[in-house]
Amino acid sequence: MKRILAEPLLHFVVLGVGLFVLHRFITGEAPSVGDEIVVDAPRVAALAEQFERSWRRAPTATELDGLVESYVRDEVLYREGVALGLDRDDAVIRSRIRLKMEVIGDGAAGEITEAQVKAWFDAHRSRYAKPAYYDVRQVFFDPAKHRAARDVTVDDALRRLQSDPDLDFGTLGDQTLLPGALEGVTQSDLASQFGEAFAAGAAQAPVGRWLGPVKSAYGEHLVRVDLREEEEAAELSQVREAVERDLRYARDQQARDAHYQELRARYTVRVEMPGAGAAAIVAEQRAPHRAAP
């Protein structure tokens, strides 16, 4: 008997039982065997609603049991995956978590007022103005094909167009896939297709007269503006929906940035350039001291 009482294993068992009894005495409940997964009534209702949206009918009792079991399966595998660290260094998961965290910062600024809408509109009037638009014709000259004779060729074509308004401009210049005539285009449209220099030339050209050469991203052009409608300022009543949308977006972005800066202040960030070790630390930002909660 004395030999049994002296066994270390017995001491370990007795100690374990003692801790178990002490835990029950203090907490009134048994220690948790594992994490609990709760599928509450709102979750079950959401699963049923999602099924109904997809299939246009309510799920049967068997189908609902299957939906619940599928949810539990997902939750179990998700928790075990996180426990194994499988969520680390996964760009997709990081992106989704980041988006959810940014959503948390949305809407903090509250509802917008009429005064704020008007102030935003006044500060960004040009954004909502109807832009100027043009009807333009152009004749293209490829610099690589003319070289030394370029000036003579371009000048001759310009004289012919100016002296004969009915001359078919498509018979002049060099072949290209660029459109010879454009209708109802904005300066931004011209810039995206021909380059900023061409768009600026069209904006300054007199209406109804050939001029040039005007440079583009491709070469040189003779240009004629047949119609120019100048920019037209917008009234708030005409663009209110767009103004409110842009204002809400700007306020949400501001709230997200403020939320991030609040979170960012909790961290110390060290940036090390590759290949040089600790000596290559180029930034170190320390979080402000915070009292322990």
Tens digit of each residue's pLDDT (9 = 90 or more) over 142-179? 887 766 666 778 888 888 888 887 888 888 888 888 88
Going along 43-168, which residue ranges are E strands? 133-141
Report strand pairing: 181-186 vs 269-272.
unpaired
pLDDT at residue 275, rounded to an integer: 66
User: Into which CATH architecture does domain 130-229 fall?
Assistant: Roll (3.10)
Q: Note if the bond before 293 is cis, omega within 30 degrees.
A: no
Q: Is 182 helix (H, G, I), strand (E, B) or coil?
A: strand
- Two structure tokens written together for 41: 């009534």
Percent of the chain with pLDDT over 70: 77
- Two structure tokens written together for 272: 């090390």
- Two structure tokens written together for 262: 């609040």
Averaged pLDDT, 12-25: 43
- pTM beyond 0.75: no
List Cβ neighbours of 101 (8 Å cut-off, separation of 6 or more).
263
Going along 118-272, which residue ranges are E strands? 133-141, 181-186, 211-215, 220-229, 269-272
- Rounded CA-CA distance 145/153 in Å is 11
Which among 97, 59, 100 has a CA at the least distance from the CA of 78? Answer: 97
Sign (positive/negative) of CA torsion 231, 236, 242, 244? positive
Q: Is 109 exposed, middle or buried (0-12, 13-18, 19+ CB in 10 A)?
A: middle
- Rounded CA-CA distance 4/16 in Å is 17
List Cβ neighbours of 244 (8 Å cut-off, separation of 6 or more).
112, 117
- Rounded CA-CA distance 274/93 in Å is 25
pLDDT at residue 30, rounded to an integer: 43
Q: Is the pLDDT of residue 112 over 60?
A: yes
List Cβ neighbours of 259 (8 Å cut-off, separation of 6 or more).
102, 104, 105, 108
Q: Is 271 helix (H, G, I), strand (E, B) or coil?
A: strand
Sign (positive/negative) of CA torsion 123, 127, 131, 137? positive
- Rounded CA-CA distance 131/186 in Å is 7
**224: which strand partners?**
137
pLDDT at residue 105, rounded to an integer: 63
Which among 37, 35, 63 has a CA at the least distance from the CA of 50? Answer: 63
Long-range Cβ contacts of 62-70 (<8 Å, 24+ apart): 68/39, 68/44
Q: Is the pLDDT of residue 108 over 60?
A: no
- At 37-68, the pLDDT tens digits run 888 989 899 999 999 999 999 999 999 889 99
- At 183-194, the pLDDT tens digits run 988 888 898 889
Q: Is the pLDDT of residue 201 over 60?
A: yes
List Cβ neighbours of 67 (8 Å cut-off, separation of 6 or more).
47, 48, 51, 59
For the chain, the structural domain boundaries read 1-31, 41-88, 130-229
Sign (positive/negative) of CA torsion 235, 241, 245, 251? positive
